[in-house]
Structure 1
Amino acid sequence: MSLPALAIDPFDEGFLRDPATHHVALRDAGPVVWLAPIQCYAMARHAEVSAALADHATYCSGRGVGLADFARETPWRPPSLLLETDRPRHDQTRGLMNKVVSLRALQALRPVWSARAHELAERLVARRRFDAVTDLGEAYPMLVFPDTVGVPQEGRECLLRYAAAVFNAFGPRNAIFDEGEAAAADAVGWVANACRRESLAKGSWGTAIHSAAADAGCSEAEAERLVRSLLSAGVDTTVNGIGIMMLAFATFPEQWAKLRAEPKLARRALDESLRWDSTVQTFFRTTTRAVDIAGTTIPEGAKLLLFLAAANRDPRRWDEPDRFDLGRPTSGHVGFGHGIHQCLGQMVARLEAELVLEALIPRVAEIRLTGAPVRRLNNTLHALASLPIEIVPA
């Protein structure tokens, strides 16, 4: 079988502004394609993307989940001990993190996080017009998550710029990367200092990670990298997840009416919005052996780009995939990844989104766009910079 070769550059600014337009061509070209501009194999169909994410032995993460191959290039920063490691090391670090970021720990935080959500919702509803990204998507996670991790109060705005730079670095060293690096120059140092044990508040998740890491035989520097990974996983993706969820309800107003009629659907809303418009668009893997995909052999040591967002709108897997529909079973979407490297912060994101909706449902009858959404270009994220909305109070 001849390998389809496409002249699509997934890091071109035109592509990043409107990736869904190009996803159809990627999916229709075949189960695996060759992207000539970046000299890389790629998959965009749900079946192949999901299978590759699940097969960590064949498609490894330890050589980097970005375009750079850590076997041939020096990483721009020490690799993540969660996202960019393979078994058995990954099992050790993920296991200790799962003990800290647990369902039990989140349930203990729920009353405080819920109160913050209701306070914020009350203020925003009183204003009626606000930006769903800056005033809600950014504001709410920053009200609850930094306190939970225990980072210093002063300088917390650095978290947003740092997280954006991290996801930018999974792509090439293009203009978008350079702009993100420049914007995050001071944030990198702030985050490094914030992750040290002495900088973290007593009784916080951050200090719990340091203690668990020490018990597992990790060094102090490795413990700091684990706290750093939690900050990366729990900020920018959650901020954009809430923003995209609000965009979905403004675009499909009948779904907001459905949610108000069935508030229990709040638990499904973030997952369906991430399937509809995935915050994390892509991740790379590297093959550990030659592998056959529908008659095409991908050699050992090859970089492979997985289009998570394209997979989440694959009509081979989903009916009417371009619709945001709360009645849809969302099981199987890859917006949080799949397999052993599923997003560490997904439980945090789900709880934050659920609490935001619980606070808005009784207060808001309608959500309307008052201007065009503004995208913030990022090599990995489909991010929103602004989403001006008006709400009709209930």
Structure 2
Amino acid sequence: MPAVSDMGQVLDPDRIRTLFDLRSSYNVRSGGDYEEDPNPVWRELRERGPVHEGTVHELTGYSRPAMFQGLPYPDRPHFSVFSFDECDRVFRDSETFASSPEAVDPTGGGIGTASSMLSMGGAQHRRYRALVQPSFVPARAGWWITNWIEETVHALIDRFADNGSAELNVDFCAAIPVLTITSSFGVPVEEALHIREVLTDPPQVIRALAPIVAARREQPQDDLISTLVAAEITDEDGARHRLSDTEIYTFAVLLLLAGSGTTWKQMGITLTALLNRPELLGAVRADRSLLRPAVEESLRWSPTDPMFSRFATRDVELAGQRIPRGALVHLCLGAANRDPARWEHPDEFDIFRPMKRSLGFGGGPHICLGMHVARAEISVGIGALLDRLPNLRLDPLAAPPRLIGMYERGATEIPVVFGGS
């Protein structure tokens, strides 16, 4: 099994680009071909009213079909929310605004997000989330950093540190989360991209994970699969049982999707914002305590997943708009995070602004489970770049990075040079 330090020999750059470039056919289904800045339109919509009938992409002017959480459901009415207060209200009221249109069967509903805790609600969601929550609390960030993140970050930098130039978005940012989460499962490096590629094909996922699950049942280790194998859940009737293989595979798919599909884009957004503002990059280089507010500002200013959806479980009124039972309510977090009712000069990227809670990681009971790991990956990754690549700056001879995408936003290539004066 190749070590993480040998990844240069086993990671295919072309395959990475196919999986992680937002403009590739793999990502176009979520609107990866949208190259405009949606924020002016979202600002106008928010100013006209907090809630509008229709989907976020249609209201934004994107005419192609787009798939994402809560889409497409063509036979249901759709409403989109653009203010911070109303988005926050929906997130917090999980009884009225559910994450799934129907009850979730984690043992017999197939493997995927529809049968995972992402779609659960109430006591069922609390029980399943509690099984893995301890591995993702802030106190465990060091466990992730020491075991997987630091080694991955430095092995990736080793591949280009002597070149004087690099492309940081796909060649660096994209690889960190997928290698971190697969390594925490015990997946060999050479299989990491295959796992990411087949996440929507449950039989292939099972074939890859089954030997690891079986081995951890025989001999647990200090990793996430062992945590799932050892976990016991209490049913509504009080009976306790270990997770079945199906439940473990479902957990694994959700963690792989979340762990490898979002953090890399947010890291690229953070780097793009800093590199396009050399004075801010210099401030972070000189004072690493500014790295945390830079990451938080990135999450506010341009969250990589700018929309999530909920299902109305009853007739309800939201900001004066009647929402019928069964309707989809789409929360435009990108617009909510730039609400001037909450932030001054919200369209500016300002790492010195007073920090307030944003919706970059969602909110309510379903707030992102891995947010502390994501913060650690972004901070360790950018910190290592600043440590090891002196005078890091955008390549003046290349096109500067841009933010693109509709329901998954991220940067184009981030070409940089370093060294010299």
Same fold (TM over 0.5): yes
Aligned with residue 114 of structure 1, among 130, 142, 150: 150
Match of residue 332 from structure 2: 307
Deviations 1:48-89 (A, max 9, x none): 11121111121111228xxxxx9xxx9995614221110111
- The reply on whether 1:31 has 2:69 as its aligned counterpart is no
- The reply on whether 1:359 has 2:373 as its aligned counterpart is no
Report the residue type matching 1:365 in the other structure.
N
Match of residue 176 from structure 2: 140
Question: Any conservation in 2 of the 1:193–1:199 contact (CA below 8 Å)?
Answer: no
Cα distance, 1:94 vs structure 2 = 0.5
Looking at structure 2, the residues matched to 260 and 153 of structure 1 have their Cα atoms a distance apart, in angstroms, of 31
Change (3 A) 1:12 1:326: closer
Cα distance, 1:305 vs structure 2 = 0.8
| Counterpart mapping for 1:135-214 below 5 A | 135-161=171-197, 189-196=203-210, 197-198=213-214, 202-203=220-221, 204-213=223-232
Deviating beyond 6 angstroms after TM superposition, the runs of 4 or more aligned structure 1 residues are: 10-14
Unpaired runs of 5+ in structure 2?
1-28, 59-73, 235-239
Looking at structure 2, the residues matched to 297 and 189 of structure 1 have their Cα atoms a distance apart, in angstroms, of 42
Looking at structure 2, the residues matched to 199 and 312 of structure 1 have their Cα atoms a distance apart, in angstroms, of 44
| Counterpart mapping for 1:198-277 below 5 A | 198=214, 202-203=220-221, 204-213=223-232, 217=241, 218-277=243-302
Change (3 A) 1:337 1:250: same
Cα distance, 1:154 vs structure 2 = 3.6
Deviations 1:308-359 (A, max 9, x none): 1111122222222222221123432111101110111211111111111221
Change (3 A) 1:297 1:191: same
Change (3 A) 1:24 1:49: same
Which shifted more, 143-152 or 242-251?
143-152
Change (3 A) 1:52 1:223: same
- The reply on whether 1:95 has 2:130 as its aligned counterpart is yes
Q: TM-score, normalization: structure 1? A: 0.80
Percent of matched pairs sharing the same residue:
28
- The reply on whether 1:371 has 2:399 as its aligned counterpart is yes
Cα distance, 1:286 vs structure 2 = 1.0
Match of residue 171 from structure 1: none
Looking at structure 2, the residues matched to 361 and 289 of structure 1 have their Cα atoms a distance apart, in angstroms, of 51
Deviations 1:150-174 (A, max 9, x none): 22444311344456xxxxxxxxxxx
Question: Any conservation in 1 of the 2:101–2:326 contact (CA below 8 Å)?
Answer: no
Change (3 A) 1:243 1:230: same
Number of equivalent positions: 355
SS in 2 for 1:97: helix
Match of residue 389 from structure 1: 416
RMSD (Å) for aligned C-alpha atoms: 3.1
Match of residue 42 from structure 1: 80
Aligned with residue 296 of structure 1, among 321, 326, 344: 321
Question: Any conservation in 1 of the 2:274–2:280 contact (CA below 8 Å)?
Answer: yes
Cα distance, 1:211 vs structure 2 = 2.0
Change (3 A) 1:78 1:276: closer
Deviations 1:338-387 (A, max 9, x none): 1110111211111111111221233433421532436675x631133532
Question: Any conservation in 1 of the 2:99–2:119 contact (CA below 8 Å)?
Answer: yes
Report the residue type matching 1:86 in the other structure.
G
Q: TM-score, normalization: structure 2? A: 0.75
Match of residue 168 from structure 1: none
Aligned with residue 119 of structure 2, among 57, 64, 84: 84
Which shifted more, 244-253 or 111-120?
111-120
Question: Any conservation in 2 of the 1:195–1:206 contact (CA below 8 Å)?
Answer: no
Report the residue type matching 1:28 in the other structure.
E
Match of residue 343 from structure 1: 368
SS in 1 for 2:304: coil
Cα distance, 1:101 vs structure 2 = 3.0
Report the residue type matching 1:57 in the other structure.
E
Looking at structure 1, the residues matched to 135 and 84 of structure 2 have their Cα atoms a distance apart, in angstroms, of 32
Match of residue 128 from structure 1: 164
Looking at structure 2, the residues matched to 127 and 117 of structure 1 have their Cα atoms a distance apart, in angstroms, of 17
